[in-house]
Amino acid sequence: MSTSTPFTVGIVGARGHTGAELIKLIAAHPGLQLGFVSSRELAGQRVADHHADWHGDLQFENLDADAVAAKGMDAVILALPNGLSAPFVAALDAAGPGTVIVDLSADHRFDGSWYYGLPELTRGGYLGQKRISNPGCYATAMQLAISPLLTELAGPPQCFGVSGYSGAGTSPSDKNNPELLRDNLMPYALTNHMHEREVTAHLRVPVEFMPHVAPHFRGITMTVNLWLQQAVKREDVIGRYQAYYAGEPLIEVLDEAPWVSRIAGRHGVQIGGFDVAPGGKRLVVVATLDNLLKGAATQAMQNLNLALGLDELAAIPH
């Protein structure tokens, strides 16, 4: 990969936890140059004063959609809350239709004209699209846990998800209040969650999802109950998952159930457990990932690398 003419990248919504991880990844990337970081709250402050991995005098800016488009970046990452991407996409469509956009919100996950970028499952369908929708963090864990047995399902998978409170963002709420979460597990949106609809749409099977927030800061545990058409043996299931994800450096298939404490700060996914109930037709699988990394920033970097023709894992430790 040549580093003589790095691609320029801008981040919109850089104040949040995921924005911080993106800055760290771009700082380590030999083929990317961070052209701007937009944050209303931090405008005028030096990026280096907030991120130890960044060096230089680049400052946060408060940029509206037209100002972002006028920057002329090769790629723009939208790290905004749901519902806020439209003006930025419209401005970039008008000023730079060749600009790669990676949207981390849910705004385009149901839009067939956008590439849905969960690379381990969808890279075969990437045809050079410049508009890329990053999957949700819970949705990534669910799809990776279910996909190897998707054709064997006898009914809807039931998914019990637990996330660290960083998944609730930086705007104060009950779901990211350490005092309320201490010694607590907080259930919410127990039916019709956005990620339930997302996984149902992309796997094309109904999925049932029950999310919870826990007192830890980062990391997701996803316990998935699968009813199967035919009885299975545990060793055959493990072999099937190993074969399905062979050659995927960011996915590790374990014998035992993974622990969220062991995935925090890491860029991949661990899938394990594989407990088969008596009779062989019920299987429980556990997947863990860091919601800020493979659930957001790492996946965005995979998608960005793919769209720019770079090594998919460039700048991603694995």
pLDDT by 10-residue block (mean), the chain, 318 residues: 77 89 96 96 93 92 97 97 96 95 98 98 97 98 98 98 90 89 95 97 98 97 98 98 98 98 97 98 98 98 98 96
What is the C-alpha separation between 190 and 296, in angstroms, rounded? 22
Q: Length of the chain in residues, anyone?
A: 318
- Give the domain extent around 164: 137-291
Type and span of the H or E element at 128: none
Positive/negative CA dihedral, 127, 131, 134, 139: negative
- What are the tens digits of pLDDT across the range 81-110? 999 999 999 999 999 899 999 999 999 999
What's the number of CA atoms in the CB half-sphere (13 Å) around residue 101?
28
Same domain for 173 and 37 = no
Strand order in the sheet with 158-163: 186-187, 208-213, 158-163, 220-227, 282-289, 269-276, 251-253
3-class DSSP assignment, residue 250: coil
Structural domain contains residue 234:
yes
- What are the tens digits of pLDDT across the range 231-255? 999 999 999 999 999 999 999 999 9
Same domain for 65 and 19 = yes
What is the C-alpha separation between 185 and 76, in angstroms, rounded? 36
pTM for this entry: 0.96
3-class DSSP assignment, residue 64: coil
Same domain for 141 and 99 = no
Structure-block tokens of residue 214: 């826990």
Number of domains the chain is built from: 2
| Strand spans (E) along 39-89 | 60-61, 75-78
Q: Which of 61, 88, 107 is the last residue before a domain boundary?
A: 107
* Active-site annotation holds for 159: no
3-class DSSP assignment, residue 213: strand
CA dihedral (237, 240, 242, 244) in degrees, to 10, reads -140
Catalytic option among 12, 27, 137, 232: 137
Same domain for 141 and 100 = no
Same domain for 151 and 56 = no
Same domain for 81 and 11 = yes
